[in-house]
Chains A and B, each alone.
Chain A
């Protein structure tokens, strides 16, 4: 026993020496000493004092307290456990728990009086909707989990906790419906999380890169979600959501290409409007990728594709422009990308001014000076507007890069180059899998019912979940009544 006391004393001494970072509180009893170790920045000190320290002090001086008696009779805490592994003490303290050590016992108590300052639940930044809930996730994991629990009150909802990062020890929660989600995908995700060997992961984007099937792939294979209702909807569809402590954005897996173009708003509103908006998003994605290339192909290669009056009109508007079509497009596209990035970073008070300046300089002055043709500005503006329409920016970002690739191919080979580039991109897209689900499902491989439902969707009409997700339970019927 004295050896064990020695071990605990060592630990206590280590933490006492580092008193800038750790706090200790010793309470003496007749037969033993109880030492409380905690990090004050992570501890609710009022609760600590009220529910742990005061009851201990109020206990009889000559009483023989051990971990079990303290847990059962003294402290007023719901989340408190008895542990005995010495090598875990430091880990518990570092993650914000309060550890209560007993001088005459190897057992110790781990009490949860954690408190982490965090912001209140905000409005969505990039999943904004006109009609629909606006609750978003925050950086505090427990709050996020409680938001989900509030919406999904089912015993089959599973939350599996993992820790990643040797130094950051970030908590990761994998949440899914056990009776719906695909087992293989769940196992795969959990295994990949557990196999992460890195010093720290602070954001879901970093976690995402460890979980992907194709790590060097340009296209996103997992979705990101900001709103609670979208995450819950994904889980009801049989998806798996992943949350990491310190990040207000959750991950969804698996995710197919078409789902990046859908928004929950389509389901909350009229189904015909939803159908129209989905078609609009597909068209906008295509336009944003190829419209600049179409301009180059028409102006520089295949001018006779348009009727002669239009060709002459375009030629007349370009007569003063000193650059060829390719250089013109590249300059404008780069300027647009620079403006887009600048507006993201700049404080909102300057943002409007920069937008106006950009529009005036690029738009009006450039045309007046004859540097760019008016038609090109319309084309690029249309491309820019279309890039904002798809609801998930993580899908649009790769297309911003692909757009340049297509522009270059078109500039060399015309329509032939454009079609070659599109074929290459499509070949790549259809070959990707997202956790076993073909990326382009249900378009290819074509599943008729899922394909129709994916465009014209309404929960009242869709009694079954998508077939291509290979779920345990494909029907959306209610659970049998709880007989407990």
Chain B
């Protein structure tokens, strides 16, 4: 009797379990979103969502022509929830957000505030926290149009660009997880990459400064070399350094930096030491780079780097007075009790910075710009 009850119960459990595969949905039954642009226009939220087309067996990156690889869908609504509802009403498949690589805020939306949508992304479990967040101009369609001929989605193109630049330290970390952490903290000021469509290509043209969740200013790429040095531990950049009547193109590698902070007379002080080594890539003259010239190049290079650093710091201290270099962390670690009660924005604006640079100039690795030996048969000059 008992055995029959047990068997009946087991059959019931098995039938119940297998009567519906609740979470089972094949990957091709989902709408693969690759890029999401969040904008604002006339008090309405707008979503532009780029979906990968799955038809015809064409894979991303196959480069085959014929037929759109990606579809852009636009939806509007008064709130994010309503906008999403409007989007769902247009789509034949449920949206899958696991393939989203880039979430872009238009400038007008960023000025309204990025915090709400970032919180929404935190709550939507499908979003991967490693995706990148950027800012773009209000004309979102131009972004997608510029990428039309590419075999990659807009999101992947931008992500690949950011990752490539990150490898040389020439970009900033704008992953969702990092931004959520910044937004949750007491001090939340950070940079987001700013992309524009330029001549059918997507171009990183600078950084948008976000303070308290709102876009407050823009830093063009020309002024951002110093930002990279301050934010990243490894940077490769190139300078054209004048010496005498000539110019030397020098590749500079940031090997490391050391940040020391102190608090004297109610003022925050930073003493940052940078270690560089520099490689002379080529000269604009056939004349040798003698030792004297090398010293001159080194000095001029140091000046150029110092200028970049000063520009970066001054910009952050003057307008918008935002510590987007996260320098507060060094202060917090050393003076946790003082930091707790501090108005960091005010303190940072008055902070004193001192930079010391150690540059090790290598005249050249493969090419010796100052050869000590000469060909015997050479004509006299």
Contacts and interface: CB of A to CB of B under 8 A. Distances in A.
Given A304-B98, A408-B18, A412-B17, A320 B57 contact: yes
A303 B21 contact: no
Contacts of B96: 303-304
Given A304-B128, A315-B32, A309 B24 contact: no
Interface stretch (B58-66, B348-356, B362-370): B58-66
Candidate in A309, A316, A414 with the most chain B CB atoms within 10 angstroms: A316
26 contacts: A300-B26, A308-B32, A308-B99, A308-B156, A311-B27, A312-B52, A312-B54, A312-B59, A315-B27, A315-B28, A315-B32, A315-B52, A316-B52, A316-B56, A316-B60, A317-B59, A319-B28, A319-B57, A320-B57, A324-B24, A326-B21, A408-B18, A412-B17, A412-B24, A413-B23, A414-B23
B194 interface: no
A314 B59 CA distance: 9
Given A408-B18, A412-B17, A412-B24, A317 B60 contact: no
A312 B24 contact: no
A326 B26 CA distance: 9
Contacts of B128: 304
Nearest to B55: A319
A99 interface: no
B70 to A, nearest CB: 10
B21 A311 contact: no
B28 A300 contact: no
A222 interface: no
B379 to A, nearest CB: 59
B34 interface: yes
B258 interface: no
A411 interface: yes
B329 interface: no
Interface of A: 299-301, 303-304, 308-309, 311-321, 324-326, 408, 411-414
Interface residues of B, number: 29
Contact of B30 (A313, A315, A316, A412): A315
B101 interface: yes
Top 3 A-B pairs ranked by shortest CB distance?
Answer: A304-B98, A308-B99, A319-B54
B307 to A, nearest CB: 41
Nearest to A314: B27
A316 B101 contact: no
A77 B198 CA distance: 106
A315 B25 contact: no
A321 B21 contact: no
A301 B23 contact: yes
Contacts, number: 87
Contacts of A320: 57
Contacts of B27: 299-300, 303, 311, 314-315, 318
Nearest to B60: A312
Contacts of A303: 27, 30, 96, 98
Contacts of A412: 17-18, 21, 24
A302 B24 CA distance: 9
Interface in B252-271: none
Interface string B76-100: 0000000000000000000010111
Nearest to B18: A412
A324 B29 CA distance: 9
B23 A318 contact: no
B126 interface: yes
A117 B126 CA distance: 72
Interface string B19-51: 001011111101010100000000000000000
Nearest to B29: A324
Given A304-B99, A308-B34, A316-B56, 4 more contacts: A308-B99, A321-B28, A324-B24, A326-B21
B24 A318 contact: no
Contact of A317 (B25, B57, B101): B57
Contacts of B23: 301, 413-414
A316 B54 contact: yes
A299 B156 contact: no
Contacts of B56: 316, 319
Contacts of B60: 309, 312-313, 316
A311 B26 contact: no
A314 B60 CA distance: 11
